[in-house]
Structure 1
Amino acid sequence: MPQKQVQDLPSEVKEQLADGSEQIFLAALSSAQDNGMDEQAAMNVAWNSVKEYYDQGSDGKWHRKPEEKNIHHKAVQSGGN
């Protein structure tokens, strides 16, 4: 059954997630389950989503990656054809 709230996640998952990573995990897990994935595949998708923005620390918890200062998210326009 898909988890729809952070408190519905298994305790071993909640213990590792912190400061916003819970919402990323939950959103990815719910989306994967809604798309028909089984629970294990959905969990893999959710962990991969967390890994995109968080690193696992020596304490076993996930901490937000520092922002890269030289990266900007502006669109690059081409000269066209």
Structure 2
Amino acid sequence: MPYRSRSGLPDSVKHVLPAHAQDIYQEAFNSAWSQYKDEEDRRGDDSREEVAHKVAWSAVKKEYEKGEDNKWHPKH
């Protein structure tokens, strides 16, 4: 279930991440959704969706970090 737009992202993403981070999340999720469609390409027992969400969060965390204010900010 790739995301066609930011508005389709889960609330846990839409309500916490800045717009650019949401774009990163969406792009990474959609890419992982395609890449890990075959079960043998995934590690462990994670579903295709679980793997795609993990990949997406990992991509966001490469460029953003949670600040002391509990909000996500670009890394410097």
* TM-score > 0.5 by shorter chain: yes
Counterpart amino acid of 1:60?
N
Deviation per CA, 1:22-64, whole angstroms, max 9, x where unpaired?
1111100000001217111100000000010110123433210
For structure 1, the residue ranges without an aligned partner over 5 or more in a row are: 67-81
Paired with 1:34 and 1:59, the residues of 2 have a C-alpha distance of 35
Equivalenced residues, count: 66
Cα pair distance change 1:59/1:15, threshold 3 Å = farther
Counterpart amino acid of 2:16?
Q
1:46 aligns with 2:56: yes
Of Structure 1 and Structure 2, the greater helix share is in: 2
For structure 2, the residue ranges without an aligned partner over 5 or more in a row are: 43-47
More RCO (CA 8 Å, sep 6+): 2
1:16 aligns with 2:16: yes
Per the normalisation by structure 2, the TM-score is 0.77
- Which structure has the larger Rg? 1
Per the normalisation by structure 1, the TM-score is 0.73
Cα pair distance change 1:60/1:39, threshold 3 Å = farther
Paired with 1:61 and 1:29, the residues of 2 have a C-alpha distance of 21
Stretch moving more, 51-60 or 40-49 = 51-60
